[in-house]
A and B are shown apart, each in its own frame.
Chain A
């Protein structure tokens, strides 16, 4: 088994993972902001929507009255209008920061092709909408900063051979900005974010259980942070626009308006080349020549698929759809795999109720399976591995090929069984291992929030905890089952987990302790 995607810079990815693991110590793996960047960007978007609707309700939409109406909101530091204004501004900056980091993280993981190509492409396509929405918001204040940004944008657009008359002529003198032009500003700042919302819906279309809100603790922390910033450093206008003067010195929002100084420091043409070139590169990445996918995709066996829809619900990339079963029984369905969307993670095999190793068939064939590592092969490796072990307290380790290399734990008392993803493990295999002679079972997954296939670690944890079907039976002795979370390169974490398990098992199997070892027929 190999890593699902090849990464552009292993060193950069390793540095990012080190940073993520450092944040894990502070925030925990679930609430780690570096593992929740897409959800945080969504949170910032919702904040912008709420504060934007508030501001629009009190906003004077005329060119002459807009500045006064916005400034009136900021008259008092603690006024709700002023707070909304500041939150709208800082929410924009946070949205851009989270989006940029989200893009960086996905790029470092090389997630732009194959089954991830759609999300990459739709996400990249939204970047111009983000830029237009954000920049256009500054014009509505119609202060000196808005004046500067509107003129700079017009001069930048005029570098393109699009219009017969320069757009910048709309800002030549006092009175040049009419209410009609201001209506266009408002349309840009309302219409484009609506398009963005529509595009975001597309962006997560092929993502199961997409996180459009971060975990509650992280959400609360982030919102409180922005609220504190809005209270401590409220956003103020920089004086009303005056087209007879150049706003010489400005407190610039560099998250949004960096392109204007770049243009004036170089040229409009060069800035277009840089910005458009970078964007086109992002858009074209999914179509650049790439190595062929080596991993076979999931295969459905109609004879063993009862149409229970668990694989359909658990597939992280919506690669499975349900169709009428060819056996013609009323209401019976059959899973179908879209090979272009399948990540070859095996999570579907782990979700299939037919994947239980307790079935008496000599050859274990399940409803949906991975040709490169079938549940039948896994059962055989487990059986033969345990049979060959002579240690008093053998331990079975189910590991994840994308996380820490569990195969290195193989030893006299350890049977290491690597999986494509821990989510591939049917929970009944844990009970089966214990009944077949294992004294304990360690399930190793990637850190939560860091699963290469998004949901493998989460589904596994929920299945083992009895919160998700198929679940581990309650009768399985909990003290003989442990889980460990370790990303690639974190083998010491697995060693530590194994040492803890050995110590626990030694206590359980002490001469005066009742022998809780399980057996099956």
Chain B
């Protein structure tokens, strides 16, 4: 069969070999360059990052109440408990001021179908590095109008530093780390 009329199935000639070297080189260059470059700056220079992140279960939305004798009688004998407490918890409200200005406010609702789980907040706030006044307020009870937990502290933030504002009841409430 005549092969001359075929498109070459294999490269022929010096030009084809040079072309291969060039194209393989471009392939390597493409992979090598975009595997490392351009560099990505995630945070502006002289900026720190404040992470307002907490998980906290709010107080029940209402007080427990004592059941009447009639109500108790309606219950099965094994479920006759004198008091009934609501499952639903209060939403958790957090406010963050930096240098006296409000930087974040979040109202987190309880998780779960019965709204009886904990509330979660996660915010990331880039702030200029330097000395900052941090004020945090947290409310976790709809029955009480004020903030149950507060924290005010002056901190010195280095560039690229991460400051985490969390909540830990065992450590007294709002924490900075």
Chain A residues with a Cβ under 8 A of chain B: 23-31, 33, 89-90, 93-94, 97, 148, 155, 158, 164-166, 168-169, 172-173, 217, 221-222, 224-226, 228-229, 232-233, 235, 243-255, 261, 264, 442, 447-448, 464-465, 478-479, 481-486, 493, 496-497, 500-501, 504
Contact = CB atoms under 8 A, between A and B. Distances in A.
B53 A169 contact: yes
Contacts of A247: 42, 160
B42 A251 contact: no
B40 A497 contact: no
Contact of A25 (B16, B43, B48): B16
Interface of B: 1-2, 4-12, 16, 19-20, 23-25, 27-28, 30-32, 34-43, 45, 48-49, 51, 53, 55, 111-112, 117-118, 120, 122, 124, 159-162, 164, 166, 177
Contacts of A155: 122, 124
B7 A26 contact: no
Contacts of A225: 24-25, 27-28
Contact of B31 (A97, A448, A465, A497): A97
A245 B161 contact: yes
B43 A248 contact: yes
Contact of B5 (A28, A33, A165, A501): A501
B35 A464 contact: no
Which residue among B6, B10, B37, B161 has the maximum number of chain A CB atoms within 10 Å of its CB? Answer: B6
A501 B28 CA distance: 42
Contacts of A250: 39-42
Complex A-B, nearest 5 residue pairs according to Cβ-Cβ distance, in ascending order: A497-B5, A26-B19, A482-B2, A164-B111, A166-B122
Which residue among B6, B35, B43, B122 has the maximum number of chain A CB atoms within 10 Å of its CB? Answer: B35
Given A246-B42, A250-B40, A158 B160 contact: no
Given A29-B9, A166-B53, A501-B2, A90 B32 contact: yes
A208 B79 CA distance: 67
Given A27-B11, A228-B28, A166 B4 contact: no
B39 A26 contact: no
A316 to B, nearest CB: 19
A226 B49 CA distance: 38
A93 B34 contact: yes
A226 B28 contact: yes
A467 to B, nearest CB: 12
A441 to B, nearest CB: 10
A329 to B, nearest CB: 38
Nearest to B25: A225
Given A148-B42, A169-B122, A500 B5 contact: yes
A89 B41 CA distance: 21
Given A169-B122, A233-B36, A246-B43, A484 B162 contact: no
B1 A464 contact: yes
14 contacts: A24-B7, A27-B23, A30-B10, A31-B10, A33-B27, A166-B120, A173-B164, A226-B28, A244-B162, A250-B42, A252-B38, A253-B36, A482-B4, A493-B7
A116 B10 CA distance: 29
A500 B2 contact: yes
A164 B117 contact: yes
A47 to B, nearest CB: 13
Contacts of B7: 24, 29, 447-448, 484-486, 493
Contacts of B43: 246, 248
A172 B164 contact: yes
Nearest to B54: A169
A92 to B, nearest CB: 9
Given A169-B120, A233-B36, 14 more contacts: A31-B11, A164-B117, A165-B120, A217-B10, A224-B24, A244-B161, A244-B162, A248-B45, A248-B160, A252-B36, A447-B7, A483-B6, A486-B7, A501-B2
B16 to A, nearest CB: 5
B24 A221 contact: yes
A75 B131 CA distance: 41
